[in-house]
Amino acid sequence: MKIEDGEIRNLSFDKKRVIPGWCLFISDDNEEYLIRQNNFMLGFKQYRVSRKIYQANISLYKFSISGLEMEKQIKKKSEKSYLGVAIGLPLSSLVRDFIPQNWLWGKSNLPIDMLEGIINLFFFWLALAICLSVVSYWRKNKLIKELEKRGISLKRIGKGYAITPLIITQKKLKWW
């Protein structure tokens, strides 16, 4: 199956919070596809990453939210977010002082030892991959539970990739 063009929209069941990790793709012939976007950082330049594509048994358009609506929601939230910054900055400094640095980054690599550096990098990438996998699994289960509450079922129809990368502007998501 080849889809040439369409529109990407975010999903939101309550019109307040966007469901992270998922996009609703509406093709020009009004077919709807849910695209799992958990590996957003992958797929630079010529490397294409296939993303899992699902289809629901009913239309999800009523749960979609456009970029303009999202921008309004973000502006409302950003006006109230100064408290988080005011609390987060001093708290991060305190946490940095009380948590030993080698817990986060491994043993110090001075004098420079190639084997120790490779081991530190390996554990860092392993921890990152595990964290991203857990988040991806959690997001999928959360979406499936939300859909099941509404009597909607998902069916995986395959994998696909964009010919051009996902472009995010302030007002619109573009893909394919």
**Whole-number pLDDT of residue 130:** 92
Q: What is the pLDDT of residues 22-36, one digit of tens each?
A: 888 888 888 888 888
DSSP string for 94-141: HHHHHS-HHHHH-S---S--HHHHHHHHHHHHHHHHHHHHHHHHHHHH
Residue 12 contacts by C-beta under 8 Å, 6 or more apart in sequence?
A: 18, 19, 63, 64, 65
Q: What is the pLDDT of residues 84-142, one digit of tens each?
A: 778 888 888 887 788 777 776 666 667 788 888 888 889 889 998 899 889 989 999 99
**Whole-number pLDDT of residue 13:** 84
Is the whole-model pTM more than 0.95? no
Residue 155 contacts by C-beta under 8 Å, 6 or more apart in sequence?
A: 54, 55, 56, 57
Task: Pick the more confident residue, 105 or 65.
Answer: 65
Where do the structural domains in the chain lie, given as residue ranges?
A: 6-99+152-174
Confidence of residue 80 (pLDDT cuts 50, 70, 90): low
* Mean pLDDT value of segment 40-66: 74
